[in-house]
Amino acid sequence: MMSTASSSSESGPTSAARDLFGGRPWLPVLIVFVSNTCMMVLELVAGRIIAPYVGVSLYTWTSVIGVVLAGMSLGNYLGGRLADRWASARLLAIVFLMAGLFSMFILSADTVGLRLPDAWPIIVRILAFTAALFFIPSMILGGVSPIVVKLAVRDLAKTGSTVGRISAAGTVGSIVGTFATGFILISAFGTHVIVWGVAIVLIAMAGLLLLSELRRGVLPVAVVALLILGGGTWLASARGWMTSPCRVETNYFCIKVYEEERDGEPVRILVLDRMVHSYNSLTNPTRLIYGYEQVYAEATAYQARRHNPLKALFIGGGGYTFPRYMEAVYPGSRLDVIEIDPGVTQVAYDLLGLAADSTVVSYNEDARMYLKRPPTVRYDLIMGDAFNDYSVPYHLTTREFNERVAAWLAEDGLYMVNMIDGPRRDFLRAYVSTLQQTFAHVYVIPAVRSWRLSPRVTFVIIAGNQPLDLGLLAAMDADDGEALLHAMLLSPTEVAEILTEAPPVTLTDRYAPVDQMLAPVFRGEEAQSRVAPSP
């Protein structure tokens, strides 16, 4: 009786498996491989798709990974329940079809992102945005593996090897999807084309599975599949979902360039992901708009009193605003730029006024890799502008990196960095304290006078082994009529007060919790009542 009952309970799935996988043990492996590859492709492009709306930060990737894992977990559970009742090629086809359709919905990122309420806390906005686009596709694809396992297990004595083979195929698919997306697909096609390609692959898998189920109904199945694909294409095209919001999309950034008028003069605006990086006048390279650029200009004028021509190194190119400024104001100077993204450099040439015959020399690599070499030149100025909003490359903040900067700096050279922090000043305190372990003199210049209470402030930090001549600085105004650097420079007492507000952290290659330090700024926390304005 027990044998008969067991045989009866397994006859449905076994029969379905025999129809689907009979004589083709590679087929369940292929199905899971494809589904997991598509899942990882979507997860990798998730960060790039949401970056133009909510930026790139620890919170962004935490939300992406958490939402995808939550979706896959629920999908595993629901897929298992469905498999126990209706495991068949038809069920698998429906799952793939739904996954393809909801993957198309990811292309509506622009519509969804622009409708998120600004009143929501930023973390809630990121989580809600990520979940709206990626939770359902993750959940549906999570249901594929348990259904395939149910159909593939035909001999209980070989359950372990069957499940192991399918799980291994899924893992290999995840690896392939990860490497292919990160190293090849994003830079070659852009995220919107990739998502559309994933949707087509998933819908094609649904059609193939239905063909195996309905061998005599090839024409109706083909017609239905084409209608679904055509309808999805029309919807995506009509809504503009297939058009990327990026002018250029690279492995590092969604690059956008806009044009607007400032004081009656047209300027080009460079946006990397969601952050405005530079304002560039195509006709007047000496025009500087950001306050920190005015500080840079005055420090450069200060150095030019002692060295002419200058030797300057820029860590981060952005819109190449300041290299163009120095090329115009200090002709004959050596101007080297380390810009990790060759796409940003190309956009500077194509759209932001960097001349084809410019004397600016670019090195498209990581600044850490460039500066780890033995020094070939001693720079009068090294300017850091690689901190992207709240996404800070921590390896450029550490004591070890500062030592490499010092090795390339002239004896009286200046190392200048602009950074963002808020009223708690955790990152500012750690960064200044770390710089003081390498350089004899470290100066702090906030970009606004209300820096003590503002929830978000840009600071310029200047470090060197010789003290600044404050009297000479008072005469430096970068031709704008205001000696901003001298006026905003914090006194040693004020810097000491910042360093004693809390125990400072030394940033090292082994310990640099920069994301956590900037988390309160990212959340928009206001100044604490204990922080009082200076008299």
State residue 10's pLDDT score.
45
Task: Dump pLDDT digits (tens) for 436-494.
Answer: 999 999 999 998 888 888 888 899 999 999 999 988 888 887 666 678 888 899 999 99
State residue 23's pLDDT score.
61
Q: What are the chain's domains? A: 7-245 (1.20.1250.20), 289-522 (3.40.50.150)
Question: What residue type is 170 in one-letter code?
Answer: G
How many Cα atoms sit within 13 Å of 105 on the Cβ side? 17
Closest C-alpha among 401, 394, 428 to residue 415: 401
**What's the pTM?**
0.80
State residue 471's pLDDT score.
87
State residue 60's pLDDT score.
86
State residue 11's pLDDT score.
45
Q: Which residues lie closer than 8 Å to 195 by C-beta, 6 or more apart?
A: 42, 45, 49, 103, 104, 106, 107
CA distance 15 to 270: 60
Q: Which residues lie closer than 8 Å to 62 by C-beta, 6 or more apart?
A: none
In 3-state terms the chain splits into helix, strand, coil percentages (rounded to 5) of 55, 15, 30
| 3-class secondary structure, 62 | helix
Walk along the chain (535 residues) and give the pLDDT tens digit of each residue.
Answer: 444 444 444 444 555 555 566 667 788 899 999 999 999 999 999 988 888 777 777 788 899 999 999 999 999 999 999 999 988 888 999 999 999 989 988 988 877 766 777 777 778 888 999 999 999 999 999 999 999 999 888 767 778 888 899 999 999 999 999 999 988 888 788 888 899 899 999 988 988 887 776 554 445 655 665 666 666 666 655 555 556 778 888 888 889 999 988 887 899 999 988 788 889 999 999 998 888 888 899 999 999 998 889 999 999 998 999 999 999 999 999 999 999 999 999 999 999 999 999 999 999 999 999 999 999 999 999 999 887 666 788 899 999 999 999 999 999 999 999 998 988 899 999 999 999 999 999 999 998 888 888 888 899 999 999 999 988 888 887 666 678 888 899 999 999 999 999 988 999 999 988 888 887 777 766 555 444 333 3
State residue 7's pLDDT score.
41
Are 470 and 516 in contact by the 8 Å Cβ rule? The answer is no
Beta bridge partners of 421: 457
Q: Is 517 exposed, middle or buried (0-12, 13-18, 19+ CB in 10 A)?
A: buried
Inter-CA distances, 366 with 340, 374, 417, 420, 507, Å: 5, 16, 16, 21, 19
